[in-house]
Amino acid sequence: MAKLHIIIENYSLSSAEIHKITLLQQAYDAELFWYVHAHDTMLDRLYFSTELASLWQSFTNNVKQTSHALEQSVQQHFKNSTLSYVHDKYWGKEVDKNAARQDLRIITRGEENLSHSVLQYINHSNAPLIILGKRPWGAKCKLVGAVDPFHSDDPKNTTDINVYKLTRRMAERLQSQEWKLLHAIYIPPLAISHTQELNLFHRERVYEFCREIQCPPKRMTFCGGNPEIAIEHYAQINKVDLIVLGSRKHGIIDKWLNGSTVEQLLKTPHLDILLTASHSAKNNPKS
């Protein structure tokens, strides 16, 4: 039986997230494991001063009430579920200890941005991850897999092949025909005069990639601009529910010079993102 591991941020679980987790549970016919990521720094400290005593008591009572409400909500919608509370900043180790590498992890965004420890976990994880926001999915769950088969450090396009396979498999699980592969064509400012030629080159290269992986050309679509901006804009205009992105390891210098499309899109609270498990470009992708 498949297993889904759900990490809840800030004791918060919206009705939209409950609905999406229900769809994923049904799609995977999965057993659910819940973790409440209690990353409030006050929980890690003891306060003895008289001035902070009342504040600490109020804070503790509020946490207990919120935790109880969350437990009731989970029990109401997902029978026989139990929650584990993970307070330490290394909570990811506990999740990984309970999960197999191929098990899907689901992280809820909460009301605020993803916490630093969640971003660290995403950055170092070798497992597939879904980051869920508060926005509900449409009836048919539209998926887009973002591909960019131009990376010199991935000559076999291992990451993009994984994106294609995961997009197709997720669409099959969710019984959705509404899926595409998306390539963002970025033209550097100094090459604007060669826009037409570069657009043609990108399209030819991407369609060649589609032939190699036997992806029907009708499943391929394009947008233009900086990838993180263009992909977000495409998702908004076309009401995309889930964006599949390749998880590629970047060196510190490379991230400093070029940034990370995944990192920028993760900062967009209304986007739901599925990250592939990272693989070395030296390894052949599994079917």
Among residues 74, 105, 132, which one ends one of the domains?
132
Check whether residue 110 and residue 159 sit in a common domain. no
pLDDT of residue 184: 95
Among residues 132, 164, 184, which one ends one of the domains?
132
Check whether residue 19 and residue 93 sit in a common domain. yes
Check whether residue 119 and residue 164 sit in a common domain. no
Domain boundaries, position 206 = 143-275
Check whether residue 55 and residue 173 sit in a common domain. no
Check whether residue 182 and residue 115 sit in a common domain. no
* 282 in any annotated domain: no
* 166 in any annotated domain: yes
Give the relative orientation of helices 15-28 and 50-77 as an angle to the nearest 10 degrees.
50
Check whether residue 170 and residue 120 sit in a common domain. no
CA torsion, points 223, 225, 227, 229, in degrees to nearest 10?
A: -100
Kindly report each contact of residues 187-192 with a partner whose C-beta sits within 8 Å and lies 24 or more positions away, as own/partner.
187/224
* 283 in any annotated domain: no
pLDDT of residue 86: 86
CATH code, 109: 3.40.50.620
Q: Which single residue is written with the structure tokens 């990376």?
A: 151
Among residues 132, 163, 187, which one ends one of the domains?
132
pLDDT of residue 56: 57
* 150 in any annotated domain: yes
pLDDT of residue 51: 60
CATH code, 188: 3.40.50.12370
Q: 114: which DSSP letter?
A: P
Residue 265 main-chain phi, psi, to 5 deg? -70, -30
Check whether residue 8 and residue 126 sit in a common domain. yes
Question: Taking the model in full, what pTM does it have?
Answer: 0.86
pLDDT of residue 286: 38
pLDDT of residue 65: 78
**In this predicted model, what pLDDT tens digit does every residue of 57-66 receive, in sequence order?**
665 666 677 8
Helices (H), 3-108: 15-28, 50-77, 91-98
- 73: how many CB neighbours lie within 10 A of its CB? 15
Check whether residue 114 and residue 171 sit in a common domain. no
pLDDT of residue 280: 42
Low-confidence residues of the chain, pLDDT below 50?
A: 41-44, 252-258, 280-287
- In the chain, the number of structural domains is 2
Q: Which single residue is written with the structure tokens 């997009």?
A: 167
**In this predicted model, what pLDDT tens digit does every residue of 167-209 receive, in sequence order?**
999 999 999 999 999 999 999 899 999 999 999 999 999 999 9
